Amino acid sequence: MTEPLLHLSDVHTHIGPYHILHGVDFAVPAGELTMLLGRNGAGKTTTLRTIMGLWQASSGRIRFDGRDITASSTPDIARSGIAYVPEAMGIFTDLTVRENIVLAARSGPVDRTRLDWILGLFPALKRFWNLPAGNLSGGQKQMLAIARAIAEPRRLLLIDEPTKGLAPVMVRSMIEAFRALKAAGETILLVEQNFYAASALGDNAVVMDDGRIVHSGTMSELVADAALQQHLLGLSLDAHQ
Ligand SMILES: Nc1ncnc2c1ncn2[C@@H]1O[C@H](COP(=O)(O)OP(=O)(O)OP(=O)(O)O)[C@@H](O)[C@H]1O
Ligand SMILES: [Mg+2]
């Protein structure tokens, strides 16, 4: 068996005096989309921040691409090829869409072919190309944040709740963009509360509760088992379409 691209084993994270992650174990296979699911406060964002080194794991191991990155600094982790799109997006509202994307590429101008590919994923951004990003809708801002994350080729994308608060039509556009990213072979770890989006996109599903992984398997297995969904997430697929 080949080693997964990312592997967390027995990861604990403390934030100040609080013990938030209690031994997180899961793997993200290369070229697949892994959904990280769980109720509010389960520890999903803390897990992404711990992978990025924004919180330091207090024990356990995080391996990425065959290397131990547990104690690496956030800039080193980013340089090793992991991009992180936090929930609060991180775009420059006073700069144009073009400037936002151009500034996201650290090692030189964004390759023209890549730019065309990115704008093909998020056609809405083309319309606002030379306008301040502050003019974009919430969903378009999310798309710009993802466009920034992929301005350069990356090995792994960590994305926190890209569909949060979006209207159904925008959720569908986001799903289409993620399908295209998957088709391009990107490896993605996606936090998602929208079970409809999760079931449409996930290859694998990892479910957290109270700082622990309580289930890992294929997304289709979870989609097919309403009782398991109810037990793990307290929701049913039908209720979230
Ligand atoms: N800076 C912080 N200081 C103290 N506690 C925190 C901090 N950040 C998160 N927590 C706590 O850690 C737990 C996990 O939070 P986290 O944000 O990782 O959950 P989540 O699964 O992303 O939730 P949501 O679905 O609401 O985004 C929660 O109990 C939260 O209150
Ligand atoms: Mg969160």
Return the CATH number at 200: 3.40.50.300
Domain closes at, from 130, 153, 176: 153
Q: Does 107 map to a domain?
A: yes
Q: Is 43 in the pocket of ligand 1 (CB under 6 A)?
A: yes
Q: Does 45 map to a domain?
A: yes
* Domain match, 10 and 112 both: no
User: Looking at residue 69, what DSSP letter applies?
Assistant: -
188 half-sphere exposure, CB direction, 13 A CA radius? 27
Q: Does 87 map to a domain?
A: no
pLDDT recorded at residue 137: 86
The helix-helix angle for 138-149 and 112-121 (nearest 10°) equals: 150
* Domain match, 137 and 224 both: no
**CA 92 / ligand 1 centre spacing (Å):** 25
pLDDT tens-digit readout, 75-121: 999 999 999 999 877 889 999 999 999 999 888 888 889 999 999 99
* Domain match, 61 and 173 both: yes
* Domain match, 71 and 184 both: yes
* Domain match, 124 and 232 both: no
pLDDT tens-digit readout, 23-50: 999 999 999 999 999 999 999 999 999 9
Q: Where is pLDDT greater, at 191 or 153?
A: 191
Q: Does 1 map to a domain?
A: no
* Domain match, 125 and 115 both: yes
Tell me the Ramachandran region of residue 90: left when phi exceeds 0, alpha when psi lies from -120 to 50, beta otherwise: left
Contact 157, 182 (CB under 8 A): no
The yes-or-no verdict on residue 239 having pLDDT over 50 is no
CA distances to 12, 36, 91, 97 from 5, in Å: 20, 16, 28, 31
Could you identify the atom of ligand 1 that is nearest to the CA of residue 43?
Answer: 18
* Domain match, 98 and 129 both: yes
Sorted by sequence, the CB contacts under 8 Å of residue 152 that are 6+ apart come out as 104, 105, 106, 107, 110, 114
pLDDT recorded at residue 164: 87
Count of structural domains, the chain: 2
The predicted model gives 221-228 an average pLDDT of 90
Q: From CA 79, how far away is CA 64, in angstroms rounded?
A: 12
Q: Does 86 map to a domain?
A: no
Q: Which ligand is nearest to the CA of 160?
A: 2
Q: Does 10 map to a domain?
A: yes
Buried b (16+ CB within 10 A) or exposed e, 112-125: eeebeebbebbebb
* Domain match, 77 and 136 both: no
pLDDT recorded at residue 1: 59
pLDDT recorded at residue 235: 59
* Domain match, 107 and 11 both: no
* Ligand 1 atom 13, closest CA: 41
* Domain match, 103 and 19 both: no
Q: Which ligand is nearest to the CA of 43?
A: 1
Domain closes at, from 153, 183, 205: 153
Q: Does 211 map to a domain?
A: yes
* Domain match, 175 and 222 both: yes
The predicted model gives 132-161 an average pLDDT of 92
Contact 90, 142 (CB under 8 A): no
Q: Where is pLDDT greater, at 167 or 210?
A: 210
Sorted by sequence, the CB contacts under 8 Å of residue 52 that are 6+ apart come out as 74, 77, 78, 82, 84, 158
Strand order in the sheet with 67-68: 18-28, 6-15, 57-64, 67-68
Range of the domain at 101: 93-153
Q: From CA 57, how far away is CA 65, in angstroms rounded?
A: 18
* Domain match, 65 and 105 both: no
Domain closes at, from 136, 153, 170: 153
pLDDT recorded at residue 241: 47
pLDDT recorded at residue 204: 97
Q: Where is pLDDT greater, at 195 or 217?
A: 217
Q: Identify the helix (H) or strand (E) that includes residue 82.
A: strand 82-85
Could you identify the atom of ligand 1 that is nearest to the CA of residue 211?
Answer: 14
User: Looking at residue 199, what DSSP letter applies?
Assistant: H
Q: Does 196 map to a domain?
A: yes
Q: Is 44 in the pocket of ligand 1 (CB under 6 A)?
A: yes
Q: What is the pTM of this model?
A: 0.92
Q: Is 45 in the pocket of ligand 1 (CB under 6 A)?
A: yes
pLDDT tens-digit readout, 156-208: 999 999 988 888 888 998 999 999 999 999 999 999 988 889 999 999 999 99
